Amino acid sequence: MPAEPAAVETPLAAPAHTLDTDKILKTFETDLDNGLTDDQVRKQVDKYGLNKLKETPPPTFMSILIRNTLNAMTIVLIAAMAVSFGTQDWISGGVIAALVVVNVGVGTINEFKAERTVAALEAISSPTATVVRRSSAGATGDVRTIATAEVVPGDIVLVKIGDIVPADCRVVPGHLSGLECDEALLTGESLPSVKTEETLDDPVCPVGDRTCMIYSGSQCVKGRARTICVATGMITELGKISAAMSRKEKNKATGAAAYWHKTKAFLGVVDTTPLQIKLNKLAYLILFFACIAAIIVVASTGFQNVPLTIATYAVAAAVSLLPASLPAVIALSLATASTKLAESNALVRRMDATETLAAVTDVCSDKTGTITLGKMVTK
């Protein structure tokens, strides 16, 4: 079976909430009482893939280390360290080397710990689903408990109070008993949605108004129902949200402007956090003046037969302009903030995100006050 869910759209002729269940059953060639056969399930898995959201492999320790090393301020310090050792200024070189290790080490270790914690949280539970299936055509279907990843379109899914809905499903008329689902994950509504059997006419009505549907990731808080799975994996409403969140905005510039944007991105002055942009610009500015200072010192010899003492003094003058402790202070500050957030059960995977979180002063939300207190003031 494929490891990644296939990007295949549902074969339904219209949105599931606008179709009656007979058409859906006919489209998926399933039986309401006995479900899909094992052969049909295998074909559906081959066509649609496993019922999983597209996973992004976690970064390795080495990739995190490289990312924390390749920033302007650290590169400037490494260059200063190399020049210090090259001129046999062992003390300055050793001090700068220690600062580089502290800068890179703090950020790398904290991010790696966060990634391991996230991986552990994802592996804690393996949700299951209750479906009706049969071994072959003509056989009597039986109720099976399977892994959520094995649910396929056309499955007859049974849900009851306390269950996490495994996929997007259509409620079957005559098999609904007071079902209510908490869909705050999708709609932001604090109150559970009461499910109905009636087919809806509006094909583009909001998700929260599709009361004959239950959606992947929502929780059944009351009642029970028999449903037909109509979408799995990345073609569920939850999958569409996941795809939208992982989509990166692309630069629309062309020609020389596109190459200039790539150059600025490589230098770290665009497409990153405001703090990193300011630090990188500061690093380049300081590097420029440090080079000027070194050139002025060497120029006192006329650039001929430069003695080692003058070279060492030029390096010391240039290095003295570099705020060697600034990256360490910033890294330790972000690490401290991440630790404080962790004490409040808030996990920060990348320390750079702490800056963005700290920049938030007001949160405005519509809907029913799930986030706010029902009061909203815009300034």
Counting every residue written for the chain, the total comes to: 379
Identify residue 56 by its one-letter amino acid code.
Answer: T
User: Could you give the residue numbers annotated as active site?
Assistant: 366
Rounded to the nearest 10 degrees, how much is the dihedral formed by the CA atoms of 307, 312, 318, 320?
Answer: -150
Judged by DSSP in three states, 321 sits in coil
Contact 87, 311 (CB under 8 A): yes
Q: Which residues pair with 229 in a beta bridge?
A: 169
Is 209:194 a contact under the CB 8 Å cutoff? no
Amino acid at residue number 47: K
Residues 84, 96: Cα–Cα separation, whole Å = 9
Long-range contacts of 258-267 (CB under 8 A, 24+ apart): 267/72
Contact 54, 5 (CB under 8 A): yes
Which structure tokens are listed for 347? 């996990």
How much helix, strand and coil, in percent to the nearest 5, is found in the chain? 45, 15, 40
| CA–CA distance, 133 with 281 (Å, rounded to integer) | 62
Angle at which helices 274-299 and 308-320 cross, to 10°: 150
Query: 281-306: b or e for each residue (b if 16 or more CB lie within 10 Å)?
Result: eebeebbeebeebbeebbeeeeeeee
In the chain, which ranges are E strands? 36-37, 128-134, 142-147, 156-160, 168-182, 193-194, 213-214, 219-231
Q: Pick from 10, 2, 29: which is nearest to 234 by CA?
A: 10
Which residue's entry shows tokens 């099976």?
A: 144
